[in-house]
Structure 1
Amino acid sequence: MKIIVTGSLGNISKPLTKELISKGHSVTVISSSNERQSEIEALGAKATIGSMENVDFLAETFRGADMVYAMEALNAGVFFDHTVDFIEANTQIGRNYKEAFEKSGVKKIIHLSSIGAHMSEGNGILTFHYNVEQILNELPGDVSIKFMRPVGFYYNMFSFIPTIKSQNLIIQNYGGDKKEPWVSPLDIAHTIAEEIEKPFNGREIRYIASEEISPDEIARTLGKAIGKNDLKWLTVSDEDLLNGMVNAGMNPKTAKGFVEMNAARGNGILYEDYYLHQPVLGKVKLKDFAEEFAAAYHQ
């Protein structure tokens, strides 16, 4: 199949591209960086350089493809950019995709959505995933879409490193011994590769998770990996977490979205639909990621 992969060579798109090429598919990877072109081509894929904001570029790239894997992605520094509305910027990329799909005539789409996409409010920064699902659902009925809804990514735990180093604490506005699901990008990529080769039937949703583990267990596992067996997970108020993020320079609106998302994790509403459609867990466990975490911590 001729497959378009968005997301450049990110944590999901790179392993996905490798797996699709190993299965004999023709893969074109969209990147906004000319510097990525040689690395993409070294994998055996075609590189197309352009912007998610350019609908005509997207439509031309999608035209003639058997399937498109679409994800919204902003640069890593956007959380601290006070000029960017994070939810609106991602939602606009979804609108661009819809228009480009219509212009290109693509009939099969796999969209990277998220846990929380079933909620129109109360899910913080994840609101844009709800928005984009609604936008893409406006496409004609002969367009088949598989919405992939992964849970929280292991690599988001890298954000714990500063307070571990300064206070020997993981600080969040939820915690305790109640398990919640986490996922490895490698399991997401593998699941998407599986879904690409399965039949497409209208609109479908699939949750993706690697392990269900509690905050207290996370602290023990990461602590052991970095040689800090006394590492603790500290639960603070929403206000304290928000103030800490804003004082660190984060866009206040984005920070508020993070706090609301975490509160929904703590009270369980974020996972209500997940547990109604609980997936088979993937292969990569926290102890596997902990080795990567330790390497980053000691770097």
Structure 2
Amino acid sequence: MSMRESCVIVDENGRIVDMNQKAKEMLPFLNSGVIGEKALDVFSIFPSLIEAMIHPKEQEMELNASSVGGPEWILAKISPLNDDRKDSIVYAIFFEDTTERHRMLESLQYYATRDDLTGLFNRRYFYEAIKPGIEASINKVSEVSIIMIDIDSFKEVNDAYGHALGDKVLRSCAKVLAANIESESDAIIGRFGGDEFIVFMPEASLEEAQRIAEKLRLSVVAMPILEEIERPLHISVGVAAGQIERFEEIEMLISKADDAMYKAKRSGGNRVCT
């Protein structure tokens, strides 16, 4: 059997009756020893493919084959065969290596959702990411919290040392903030714009959000001093919490947290305000 695509033939009894060399090269477990074996047993490593094979019809699915020595991602296509010859052949399974395409899509998705400089969620995707948490909080009639963060004296750093160092400050702060948020269940952080960051906490009271905000403030204070500016960095943090009944009402909390953040800045910075 020769064919440009990787292909396996399965008969009406569900047994593998033929395959081409390309299939053997793509999936090492496909060898002459599996001829005559039940396809459901041979492909048991792929549950979604097994489910499709039980009632074979024209369909396709993507599979991760790295655990069996194959490509990271393959596209499996089941295609019933014409039975005009009245023989026992029922369907073919074609395999295509889609690893590069899959990685390209992952890359596109990453850059569509992430801020280029810091790697945090960008502002547009942040709103998408918090939707499930807001819905859960609405259903449970519980509070949600917003933390707004601004780097103190960032404009002065930018003006005095240039945008390259300003970018380094943003990346350094983002890394520390994200690392401290990771340990908080369901909390989501994003870059809101400029030198501002935002944190969403579902089902979190004002007191809980204040605790996290203070933890974030202290984490920035404890950062190693950047040798280029020879002074510690610190942040102003605003916190707001409340119950909301519709997704759109999150803007009200963001506005309150933003006001609290500017209150912290007017009070000298390096503090948390509500």
Is TM more than 0.5 here? no
Structure having the higher helix fraction is 1
TM-score by length of 1: 0.20
Structure having the higher strand fraction is 2
